[in-house]
Amino acid sequence: MTQLAHQFFDYYRLASRGLDKLHSIAVLAIRLYIAKVFFYAGLTKLQDWDTTLFLFEEEYQVPFLPFELAAYLGTFGEIVFPVLLVAGLLSRFAALALSVVNVVAVISLAEIAPAAMYLHVLWGVLLAQVVVYGGGLLSLDHWLNKLWFSKS
């Protein structure tokens, strides 16, 4: 029985090592997907700024902020943080910042369709994964960390 258990755990360990190598590819895919979603939302806001201001004034109810400031901050966040996320530069910070944008988007709408809510939850879970585990081996964070701390 113990030999069977050892053999099982040897296979398990081997499979785990293989899956660990896929983590960086998976987190890169997550970073690219999330960046695309938020960046395109930011571009949409920039393309018709008058409509963006109107929506922030009339439709979105961002708490504690004047609508103009909310529009500028939201658009800035949707343009800048996805770029950082794609590069894997300050990945955890960018993901956390986009999480704030995501939460504010949800709470600022009086009514949100169930399908839209589902997407916001999905984006939140994916962003949380980047916040907790970082950008992975395929990120500037990893390479800069390796460069700076390998000299010590």
> How far apart, in whole angstroms, are the C-alpha atoms of residue 134 and residue 146?
14
User: Which residues have C-beta within 8 Å of that of residue 129, sequence separation ≥ 6?
Assistant: 27, 30
Question: How many distinct helices (H) and strands (E) make up the chain?
Answer: 6, 0
Is residue 6, in this structure, part of any structural domain at all?
no
> How far apart, in whole angstroms, are the C-alpha atoms of residue 103 and residue 20?
30
What does DSSP assign to residue 88?
T
What does DSSP assign to residue 6?
H
Is residue 14, in this structure, part of any structural domain at all?
no
Is residue 4, in this structure, part of any structural domain at all?
no
The string of DSSP letters for 83-131 reads HHHHHTSSHHHHHHHHHHHHHHHHHT-S---HHHHHHHHHHHHHHHHHH
Is residue 100, in this structure, part of any structural domain at all?
yes
> How far apart, in whole angstroms, are the C-alpha atoms of residue 117 and residue 127?
15
Domain count, the chain: 1
Is residue 55, in this structure, part of any structural domain at all?
yes
What does DSSP assign to residue 151?
-
User: Of 43, 54, 34, which is closest to residue 102 (Cα–Cα)?
Assistant: 34
Is residue 11, in this structure, part of any structural domain at all?
no
User: Which domain, by its residues, includes 82?
Assistant: 25-149
Is residue 7, in this structure, part of any structural domain at all?
no
Q: Output the pTM of the full model.
A: 0.88
Is residue 126, in this structure, part of any structural domain at all?
yes
User: Which residues have C-beta within 8 Å of that of residue 60, sequence separation ≥ 6?
Assistant: 67, 70, 105, 108, 109
- Torsional class of 89: left (φ above 0), alpha (ψ -120 to 50), beta (otherwise): beta
Q: Give pLDDT tens digits along the chain (152 positions).
A: 688 888 888 889 988 888 888 888 999 999 999 999 999 999 999 999 999 999 999 989 898 999 999 999 999 999 999 999 999 999 999 999 999 999 999 999 878 899 999 999 999 999 999 999 999 999 999 999 988 887 65
